Every structure is written in C-alpha cells, then in structure tokens.
Amino acid sequence: LLRLGLRRACRKASAVTGCSSVVTDDLRLRFGAKDPVVVPTGVDLDECRAEPASPAFDASVPTVFAIGRIERIKGFDLLLRAFARADLPSGVRLVVAGDGGALPSLRALASELGVGARTDFPGRLERAQVAASMAAATVNVVPSRVEAFGIVVLEAWRSGRPLIATNRGGPGTLVTDGVDGLLVDPDDTDAFPRTLERVVSDPELALRLAAAGAQTVRRYTWDTVVDRYEDLYRRVLAPAASGSG
C-alpha cells in the first residue's frame, strides 16, 4: 500500500526531492519519479557551541565513537568485530551510544569477542552530549550496512574529528575518500580493521581528514537547504505564474 501510494505521489507531484542521489535514483527507478532533485539534510554548525556539555566518556582516553539506533542495519556489530580484530593499543576504547532492540545482543557480542572490558554502551545521549562526545573522540565511525543519507556524517564533520564511514548508500556520495573521511565496506573483515588502525595510529592523517571535513560540512547548513528548496519552489511556480498573466 505504501509503495502504491509513493508511485502515485511521484507521478502526480510537480517536483520530487530526495536527501541523496541514492534516494533519488531509487525514486526514479522503482517509483517512476521524473527528474527527482537532491536536496540534502542540513546541520546546525553552531549547535555544539550553543549547548556545551561533557562527553559520554573520558576524553583523555583514545576512543572510537559511534552513535545511532542500535539495530542491525546500523552495523554496530560489524564495528565491534573490526575493533576486536584491529591491531590497536590496549588503551583504545570503543563507545557505541544509542538505544534499540539489538543492544542486548551487541553487549553479548562484545563479551564473546573479548572486548567487553574495552567497550562502553552509554545508551541514549542528549543532543549536546552527542556533539561533545564526537568532538572528544579519536575517530567517529558510521558503520551502517546501508544508509540513505547519514546525518551522523555531517555531525562528525562538524565535530572537528576524523571520520570513517560506510561506502554503502548516502555516505559514499557525501564523503570524498581519503580527503574528508575514509570510506570502507563494513562487511570487509580485513579492510575495516585496517582503516581503524590507520586513523588511530596516524595523527597527521587524522588532522588532515578532520580539517577537510570541517570545510565540507559548510556545504550542508540549513540556510543552504532552505535556498535549494526556495529555488525549487520558484521553478515549480514559474509556469503557473507566467500562465496567469
């Protein structure tokens, strides 16, 4: 029923938007949308400064940080496996924040992999604490099996810390691999651990990725999003306005 409704809406709409080219391609191929337009999600660049908070972990300890709904699609189990396989200093910790149905199995997997003592699950965080945690992390990771866009990518860039992101879906269209982040297949049991090792062991690489990400995120302000929608509205309304004269 939902698919039928979406097909009808795509056919009747004067314009169709999607948050990434992955979404617009799907709308065009599966639902018949004609020339759908990418209008990305935005992020408030000043949010982390407006509401200062403490991170969800000891900021003096090297930390791999990830956050999101704790469900299979988000790939946190893949991150756990990569963390367990990676050749990282023993003091490096993994923090996976958020809540969801897969949290009990994720805790069990951490113990099974032998990294339970080095892994923390602080649960759901307030927005200000999310920003503070990302800014305190050694690296922020988005390990999703699939992601339509990836607002966490923008938040990681905003934090001024390096980013590792899935190459599946939206993040692969946002991140320039090796420039403002590192892209990886989260199911690649060799590449994912090595990517963690690269960022944690190479401060110069981490700084370079973080600096580039802080520049890239400026393309995704809410003002920019509003400008794109206003431009789209003008194009949609222009034929009607010219015809009324």
Question: What is the average pLDDT score of the chain?
Answer: 94
With 0-12 CB in 10 A as exposed, 13-18 as middle and 19+ as buried, what is 40? buried
pTM: 0.91
pLDDT at 98: 97
Check pLDDT > 80 for residue 125. yes
Categorize the per-residue pLDDT at 238 as very low, low, confident or very high, splitting at 50, 70 and 90: confident
- State in Å, rounded, how far the first CA of the chain is from the last one: 40
Percent of the chain with pLDDT over 90: 92
CB distance 44 to 27 below 8 Å: no
Give the residue among 3, 2, 52, 57 at the shortest CA–CA distance from 32: 3
pLDDT at 241: 65
d(CA 144, CA 185): 9
CB distance 20 to 170 below 8 Å: yes
pLDDT at 51: 64
Question: What six digits make up the tokens of 218?
Answer: 């400026």
pLDDT tens digits along 66-86: 999 999 999 999 999 999 999
